[in-house]
């Protein structure tokens, strides 16, 4: 059973992101460290386990600038067999629904049972790519999987919702986004890292895919830095005193009691 896993390179969570004054829709990338989107680690691990158990291949797919290659190599080192990268700036800048169609165009040529991705990308936080790919391929989708069980040509997923969880069953092929808690992602061995350098990483263009992008449906026109939170009150002293001050603040400033 072949599994495609989509993954993206994003700024490290510690990174201090700054808006680029020359292009206010972008961030300054100079001293940003880029890593694999944290949720995608769960998708990769799950894809590898499912392919190992059923005999099949895991193929990585990414839309991103050329720098994405380092991240893709790290995923190849985890055990992904080969990868496809689309670097056209039009594709990288495209809205999430359009990206779904681009991924679908790549995947249509593959004999897939499952497409896995992370719950969301931590940079633009769209939380929408899985349904976009699913709709474009006419597959069902399930989001935020905390547990995935494949049996024959069906998959059962447990996903969280407010106040509980849902057990959802779907026929394969399907698209599933992966949540923390699904598994413990493996670390690549040194040998695997070396071997990953020789694995196939194919760059395809929108022209190769026969896609001609029109104007996007949505786009980021500017990024803004949120106003910093105003400095607050600092209370020090005996527990009785600080508790009393806190009560006074709750009543008079926050007006909550």
Partner 1 sequence: MAGVLVWAETQRGEPKKIAYEVAGAGITLAKRLGVPAAAVIINGGNAADELKKLGFSTIYDVQGGPFESYSSEGYAEALAFAGESFGATVFLTGATALGRDLAARLAARLDAALATDVTEILYETQPLRAIRPVYSGKLLAEVELLGEQKVISLRPNVFSAAEEGEEEAEIVSISPPDPDIRARVQQALQAAEGVLDVTEADIIVSGGRGVGGPEGFKIIENLAKTMGAAVGASRVAVDEGWIPYQHQVGQTGKVISPVLYIACGISGAIQHFAGMGSSKFIIAINKDPDAPIMRKADFAIVGDLFKVLPILREELSRVLQN
Ligand X SMILES: Cc1cc2nc3c(=O)[nH]c(=O)nc-3n(C[C@H](O)[C@H](O)[C@H](O)COP(=O)(O)OP(=O)(O)OC[C@H]3O[C@@H](n4cnc5c(N)ncnc54)[C@H](O)[C@@H]3O)c2cc1C
Q: C-beta of 226: minimal distance to ligand AMP in Å?
A: 20
Q: What are the tokens at 212? A: 């001609």
Based on the shown chain and the rule CB under 6 A, indicate whether residue 125 belongs to the binding site for ligand AMP.
yes
Based on the shown chain and the rule CB under 6 A, indicate whether residue 33 belongs to the binding site for ligand X.
no
Q: How far apart are CA 247 and CA 55, in angstroms?
A: 62
Q: How far apart are CA 54 and CA 72, in angstroms?
A: 23
Please select the residue that binds partner 1; options are 109, 212, 240, 252, rule is CB under 8 A: 240
List the single partner that 226 binds among ligand X, ligand AMP, partner 1, none, CB under 5 to 8 Å by kind. Answer: partner 1
Based on the shown chain and the rule CB under 8 A, indicate whether residue 153 belongs to the binding site for partner 1.
no
Q: Binding segment for partner 1 among 8-16, 51-59, 189-197, 198-206 (CB under 8 A)?
A: 8-16
Of 221-240, binders to ligand X (CB under 6 A) are none
Please select the residue that binds ligand X; options are 18, 20, 38, 172, rule is CB under 6 A: 38
List the single partner that 37 binds among ligand AMP, partner 1, ligand X, none, CB under 5 to 8 Å by kind. Answer: ligand AMP
Based on the shown chain and the rule CB under 8 A, indicate whether residue 145 belongs to the binding site for partner 1.
no
Q: How far apart are CA 92 and CA 149, in angstroms?
A: 33
Torsion of CA 192, 43, 120, 161, to 10 degrees: -150
Q: Within 10 Å of residue 19's Cβ, how many Cβ atoms? A: 15
Based on the shown chain and the rule CB under 6 A, indicate whether residue 121 belongs to the binding site for ligand AMP.
yes
Q: How far apart are CA 68 and CA 188, in angstroms?
A: 18
Based on the shown chain and the rule CB under 8 A, indicate whether residue 69 belongs to the binding site for partner 1.
no
Asked whether the beta carbons of 71 and 49 are under 8 A apart, the reply is no
Nearer to ligand AMP, 5 or 158 (CB): 5
Asked whether the beta carbons of 182 and 158 are under 8 A apart, the reply is no
Of 99-128, binders to partner 1 (CB under 8 A) are 100, 122-128
| Alpha helices in 79-158, H assignment, sequence order | 89-93, 96-107, 129-137
> What is the distance between the terminal CA atoms of the chain, rounded to a whole angstrom?
58
Q: How many residues bind partner 1 (CB under 8 A)?
A: 85
Asked whether the beta carbons of 56 and 1 are under 8 A apart, the reply is yes
Q: How far apart are CA 220 and CA 223, in angstroms?
A: 7
Q: What are the tokens at 129? A: 């790519």
Based on the shown chain and the rule CB under 6 A, indicate whether residue 134 belongs to the binding site for ligand AMP.
no
Q: Binding marks (x or -) toward ligand AMP, 16..55, rule CB under 6 A?
A: ---------------------x-xx--x------------
Based on the shown chain and the rule CB under 6 A, indicate whether residue 60 belongs to the binding site for ligand AMP.
no
Residues at the interface with ligand X (CB under 6 A):
13, 38
């Amino acid at each position: 059973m072949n599994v495609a896993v989509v993954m993206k390179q994003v700024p490290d969570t510690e990174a201090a992101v700054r808006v680029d004054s020359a292009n206010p829709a972008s961030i300054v990338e100079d001293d940003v460290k880029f890593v694999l989107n944290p949720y995608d680690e769960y998708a990769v691990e799950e894809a590898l386990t499912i392919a190992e158990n059923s005999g099949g291949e895991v193929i990585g797919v990414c839309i991103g600038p050329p720098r994405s290659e380092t991240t893709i190599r790290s995923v190849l080192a985890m055990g992904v067999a080969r990868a496809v990268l689309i670097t056209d700036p039009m594709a990288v800048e495209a809205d999430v629904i359009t990206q779904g169609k681009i991924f679908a165009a790549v995947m249509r040529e593959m004999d897939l049972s499952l497409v896995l991705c992370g719950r969301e990308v931590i940079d633009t936080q769209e939380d929408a790519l899985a349904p976009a790919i699913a709709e474009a391929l006419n597959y069902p989708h399930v989001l935020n999987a905390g547990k995935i069980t494949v049996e024959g040509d069906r998959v059962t997923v447990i996903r969280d919702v407010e106040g509980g969880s849902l057990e959802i069953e779907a026929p394969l092929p399907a698209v599933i986004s992966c949540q923390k808690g699904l598994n413990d992602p493996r670390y690549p061995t040194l040998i695997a890292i070396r071997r990953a350098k020789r694995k196939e990483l194919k760059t395809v263009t929108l022209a190769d895919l026969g896609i001609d992008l029109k104007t996007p449906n949505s786009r980021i026109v500017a990024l803004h830095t949120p106003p910093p939170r105003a400095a607050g009150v600092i209370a020090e002293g005996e527990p009785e005193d600080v508790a009393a001050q806190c009560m006074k603040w709750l009543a008079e400033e926050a007006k909550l009691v």
